């Protein structure tokens, strides 16, 4: 029975890894669609969100069922409760990629991002992709070193977000209110994507060590 229980735990973690890979792909594709006004790619990201949602609901059901049947304690219970929260964070990250793709579709055939902010969005995409890749490693291997690195990496995303807002508020902004609203929302999507990755890294750190990552920063 114990072997079966741990096989089910491993299967749940495998589902989290699968979700994280889908989220990474959706995030990268959403930015490509945004910057290149690629309607087909935007539609792909939008439709693929349902696959992430499906895994999310399946994992939650399996986790709750396992808790009810096995009544785990100590570290096993931490793992299961944390998996519920990690899957919720991953689902929200998928939603944020979905929102980016919907902005690309809404402004097609035009590009939603004005030239003055393209480099900032490219940098935010690069940072978000690196963070989500590291997040996948943290989930897969329980890597506490990289878990702390994710938190530090988020500082750069926050800096880029502030840079974007500063551009929108500058006297030289000449792209109108509608574009400013688009960019404000997009900046928030990228910043929140990174925040959810940090939340996941913190949860894995806690599962592995029994301590809060914030105490180590």
Condensed to tens digits (0 to 9), the pLDDT of residues 132-176 reads: 999 999 999 999 999 999 988 999 999 999 999 999 999 999 999
Kindly compute the dihedral angle of the four CA atoms of residues 147, 20, 88, 157, in this order, to the nearest 10 degrees. Answer: 60
CA distance 127 to 195: 12
Residue 109 belongs to domain with CATH number? 1.20.58.220
How many domains does the chain fold into?
1
- What is the phi-psi region of residue 176: left when phi exceeds 0, alpha when psi lies from -120 to 50, beta otherwise? left
The residue range of the domain holding 181 is 2-216
Contact 200, 144 (CB under 8 A): no
CA-closest candidate to residue 84, choices 195, 188, 207: 207
The string of pLDDT tens digits covering residues 169-204 is 999 999 999 999 999 999 999 999 999 999 999 999
């Amino acid at each position: 029975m114990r072997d079966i229980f741990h096989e089910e735990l491993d299967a749940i973690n495998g589902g989290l890894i699968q979700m994280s890979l889908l989220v990474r792909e959706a995030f990268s594709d959403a930015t490509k669609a945004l910057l290149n006004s690629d309607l087909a790619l935007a539609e792909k990201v939008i439709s693929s969100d349902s696959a992430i949602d499906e895994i999310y609901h399946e994992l939650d059901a399996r986790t709750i069922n396992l808790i009810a049947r096995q009544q785990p304690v100590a570290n096993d219970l931490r793992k299961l409760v944390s998996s519920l929260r990690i899957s919720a964070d991953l689902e929200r990250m998928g939603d944020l990629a979905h929102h980016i793709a919907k902005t690309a579709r809404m402004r097609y055939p035009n590009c939603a991002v004005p030239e003055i902010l393209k480099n900032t969005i490219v940098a935010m995409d690069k940072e978000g992709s690196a963070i989500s890749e590291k997040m996948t490693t943290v989930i897969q291997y329980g890597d506490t070193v990289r878990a702390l690195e994710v938190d530090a990496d988020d500082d750069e995303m926050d800096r880029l977000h502030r840079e974007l807002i500063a551009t929108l508020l500058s006297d030289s902004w000449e792209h109108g209110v509608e574009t400013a609203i688009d960019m404000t929302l997009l900046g928030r999507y990228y910043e929140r994507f990174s925040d959810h990755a940090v939340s996941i890294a913190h949860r894995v750190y806690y599962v592995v060590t029994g301590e809060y990552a914030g105490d180590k920063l």
